Structure 1
Amino acid sequence: MFTGIITAVGQIKSIQAKGDGLYLVVEVPTGYLDDAVMGDSIAIQGACMTATELTSNTFALDISRESLNKTVGLDRVGPVNLEKALRLNDRLGGHLVSGHVDGVGKVTHFATVAQDPYGSWLLRIEAPKALAPFLAYKGSIVVNGVSLTVNKTEDSKHVCIVDINIIPHTLENTTLGKLNQGDAVNLEVDLIARYVARMMEAQVK
């Protein structure tokens, strides 16, 4: 389990083909892996992965074809959001996150909010229509591993449009500040919303 609070920004340094998937080496800030052991779960861009090798400032992982097909941003060199798995005594600063990507969305708007003295940015994402039942005003959503608050939803025939306000601190300490219109992003819906929807579906049947 994770919280969606990014604890470091790392760099995918190398990628090699391995079976039908990939073998990645990720570089991290000094000291980030001091409490890590081989086999630990680390979320990369919101996708939970297993550290198969560790050095003082890198870890390696294998990614299956299934994971590559369901996510974006894990098949190229560049910066990535990182979060180590939650301990039972950790603060839950974001919300309960499984690290299982539910769908890939598309950024349709990303710009500063006019006349906002705090310098926040508006991020608008087209989410897959199948995720619409789990997205609600002031609910939670994970974008590339970052726990964020939904400020508006709008359903259309094919997609669910989600508006999110992002403060400068989040932009500076995650990879979200590098997003551009048209970029694809990993999305995970709220875990509790998913179970509530499933229970309601079972009651109807």
Structure 2
Amino acid sequence: MFTGLIREFAEVVSYANTVLSLRANYKPAIGDSIAINGACLTVIELFESGFSVELSLESRSLLALENLKGKVHMEPALALGDRLDGHMVQGHVDCVGVIESLTQRENGLDIEISLPKDSLKFVIPKGSVSIDGVSLTVNEVKKESFRLTIIPHTLEKTLIASYKVGRRVNVETDMFARYLYHMFQKKEALDWNGVDRIMATY
């Protein structure tokens, strides 16, 4: 589990086959979960200046892999007792979105991102969404896209200030919206076994 607050910018050393190697100040242990651009990945190797993680076929089919170069967002998994800021992020990317527009508005940057309809239904006005692992608040939901406003602090602490129109980004919708949608879509009576089955899919 994560919060969507970026710990540091890691630097991609290499990405080949299924293994991504990163240079970072943070020192994980083998088997630790680390979110890279919002995707929860497992540490499989340590080296002097960083670590390597492995991407499954499922992960590679859902992520904007072209962004695994240069600097990337990194957040270690929450530990029991950590302060919970941001919002509850699983590191399970739902889909790739596309930046449609960037508009400067006083002290904020408005970003409009288009999504596949199957994922857009889980984006709620004033709800939470994770973009490349960054916890953000949704301002407006349109027919095929949604709008965010990024404050200067977030622009300083993330890579979002460098984003351009047309960039593809990893998107994780609000898990509570997904849970509720699936619960209310069920035609049969919902019991605790049903709840367990729903929770197991995430």
Structure 1 length normalisation: TM-score?
Answer: 0.87
Q: 1:141 aligns with which of 119, 129, 137?
A: 129
2:73 corresponds to 1:81? yes
> Counterpart of 2:142 in 1: which secondary structure?
strand
- Aligned-residue RMSD, C-alpha: 1.6
CA–CA distance in 2 between the matches of 1:153 and 1:109?
Answer: 14
How far does residue 110 in structure 1 lie from its aligned partner after superposition? 1.4
Residue of structure 1 in register with 2:140 after alignment:
152
> Counterpart of 1:123 in 2: which secondary structure?
strand
2:99 corresponds to 1:93? no
Q: 2:153 aligns with which of 151, 169, 175?
A: 169
CA–CA distance in 1 between the matches of 2:65 and 2:16?
Answer: 15
Contact 1:110 1:181 in 2 (8 A): yes
State, as a whole percentage, how many aligned pairs show the same letter: 39
Contact 1:106 1:125 in 2 (8 A): yes
CA–CA distance in 1 between the matches of 2:69 and 2:186?
Answer: 43
CA–CA distance in 1 between the matches of 2:56 and 2:119?
Answer: 24
Residue of structure 2 in register with 1:23 after alignment:
19
Structure 2 length normalisation: TM-score?
Answer: 0.88
Residue of structure 2 in register with 1:14 after alignment:
14
Q: 1:110 aligns with which of 90, 98, 102?
A: 102
CA–CA distance in 2 between the matches of 1:89 and 1:8?
Answer: 21
Runs of 4+ in 1 over 6 A off after TM superposition: none
Residue of structure 2 in register with 1:3 after alignment:
3
Amino acid at match of 1:195: Y
Mark the runs of 5 or more structure 2 residues left unpaired by the alignment: 190-202
Higher mean Cα deviation, 177-186 or 57-66?
Answer: 57-66
> Counterpart of 1:51 in 2: which secondary structure?
strand
Contact 1:15 1:75 in 2 (8 A): no
Would the alpha carbon gap of residues 168 and 73 (structure 1) be closer, same or farther in structure 2, given more than 3 Å must change?
A: farther
CA–CA distance in 2 between the matches of 1:62 and 1:50?
Answer: 6
